[in-house]
Every structure is written in C-alpha cells, then in structure tokens.
Amino acid sequence: MRYLIANWKMNLPKEGIDRFTESLAPSTDWSNARVGVAPPFPFIGDVRGRLNERILVGAQNCSDHPSGAYTGEVAPSMAGAAGASFVIVGHSERRTLFAETDERVGSKVAAVFSAGLDPLLCVGEDSTTRENGGTVALLARQLEAVFAVLTDPPEEMMIAYEPVWAIGTGRNATPAMAAEAHEAIRRIVGEATRRKTSPIILYGGSVKPDNAAALAAEEQIEGFLVGGASLEAAGFLRIGEALEAAAPAD
C-alpha cells in the first residue's frame, strides 16, 4: 500500500475545504494508494465526518504533553477525539519557524503513540547540509533523537523524507536522490530499533501532477506528502493516480 497525504498547512479556508472534500470523496477508491488529509485543527471533525472511512484524517502538529496549562496547545488525545488518526510531527516549518528541536520532535512522536495515534514523522536536510555532504548524518541525528525516546518501538512507522530545499520551491528531489535518502532512512531506523521497526517512507517536496509518475516509479518511495499541490482536488487526484498506476509497494 502507498500513501498520498495532503498537508494543507494554514491555507485552505473553510469553503475551500468543503469544496475539496466534495470532489475527493467519490474518486479515491484505489487499491494501491490510500489517501489522507491533514486540515488545520478546527476543521478535523468536520472533514472526518464528510469523508469515507478509507480516507485518513490527521492533524498537522500537536503538543508533547497529554494535558495541562499550555495555552493554545492541542494534546494528541484531543486531536484524536476530534477525528484524527495520525499527526504530522517534525515538519521542517515547525522545526525552523517554531524552533522545534530534535528532542521535542522525539517527545511529540512518543506522545502521539501514547495517545493511540500514528505519527507521520518528517525529516530532511537543508540545502547547505546537502551541498556539504552531510545529508545522511543529519537524517541520522533527526531519527536517532526520536528512537532514543521510544522505549518500545512500533512495528511500522510512517516517515516522510522532506528535503527542506524542495518544500514549496518547485525544485523536487530527483527520484534517485529520494531513493538514496529513503534507503539511508531505512538503514538508520533498522539500526536504531534493532530491526524492530519497518518504516513506510513517503517523499515530500514539490510533488506535482507532472513529476509524480517519475517519483512513484521509484520502489523506495512508498507515497507522497504533498503541500502546494494538495490545495486543489483535481491535481491532487492526478498525483494519486500516478501512485495507483505505479507498481504496488509491499
């Protein structure tokens, strides 16, 4: 099964989300590709109610605390009660704009699991790190910080490889670059969990209808996390069709 996850960020207004869910509902009965959407918190319940159960609904972020005096924060269990089954954790915008450290990302992943939800952990290098040949070391640092706090690692975990230089820039990683990073992620997770956790690795960063087929043809890419191109249902569905048409991932 492959995954196609929409990260709407703080973009679609309520009317846009309503329109999107109407177009999405009848068109995603694929056998190789499962769709998920991550609306802003206030719309999670409504979106969950409008979409069939095969479509996953998730949150874009959450607190690493289960409850308490944290004004403005949302506990993972609260996102779950609203209808989310997964939570995007460690997106590069959270890391850079909201100063989330590797350790904070690790404790969020643990909190999401504790609440019975699935994290979608984002990792990825900035352009300077790539130019300096430090990509794999950075991925290792980001991943090891997470597995250091997971005392009982899960059997499966969704991870998105999202090179920061590709997010929202129109400059996607080539299929070969993504495959190399995905392979490194698989190795690092295997070593960090003594082979207990099999990651399901999505690629994110300027995925569009016109580059989706080439990326989906790469066996290491088990799906996409899509930002800009997830704001319009027709284009998003074309990306899903590219995943569906590619050979099924194990």
Please report the DSSP string for 32-72 in residue order. SEEEEEE--GGGHHHHHHHS-TTSEEEES---SSSSSS-TT
- Kindly indicate which of the ranges 53-61, 75-83, 109-117, 220-228 contains the residues binding ligand PGA, using the contact rule CB under 6 A: 220-228
Residue type for position 149:
V
**Residue 153 DSSP SS3:** coil
Binding of ligand PGA by 226 (CB under 6 A): yes
- Kindly indicate which of the ranges 33-41, 79-87, 101-109, 219-227 contains the residues binding ligand PGA, using the contact rule CB under 6 A: 219-227
Residue with tokens 């590069």: 92
- Report the number of secondary-structure helices (H) and strands (E) in the chain: 10, 8
Residue 95: its H or E element:
helix 92-97
How many residues line the site for ligand PGA (CB under 6 A)? 13
Binding of ligand PGA by 240 (CB under 6 A): no
Among 162, 222, 241, 244, binds ligand PGA (CB under 6 A): 162
Among 37, 123, 207, 233, binds ligand PGA (CB under 6 A): 207
Binding of ligand PGA by 209 (CB under 6 A): no
Among 112, 120, 158, 167, binds ligand PGA (CB under 6 A): 167
- Annotated catalytic sites, by residue? 91, 162
Binding of ligand PGA by 204 (CB under 6 A): yes
* Smallest gap from residue 225 Cβ to ligand PGA (A): 5
Binding of ligand PGA by 228 (CB under 6 A): yes
- Kindly indicate which of the ranges 17-25, 52-60, 126-134, 204-212 contains the residues binding ligand PGA, using the contact rule CB under 6 A: 204-212
Q: Positive or negative, the Cα torsion across 164, 186, 221, 27?
A: negative
Binding of ligand PGA by 227 (CB under 6 A): yes
Q: How far apart are CA 218 and CA 220, in angstroms?
A: 6
Binding of ligand PGA by 215 (CB under 6 A): no
Which residues have a Cβ under 8 Å from the Cβ of 29 and sit 6 or more positions away? 54
Q: Residue 64: CA atoms inside 13 Å, Cβ hemisphere, count?
A: 15
Residues 43-102 that bind ligand PGA (CB under 6 A): none
Q: How far apart are CA 35 and CA 238, in angstroms?
A: 12
Contacts with ligand PGA, residue ranges (CB under 6 A): 7, 162, 167-168, 204-207, 225-229
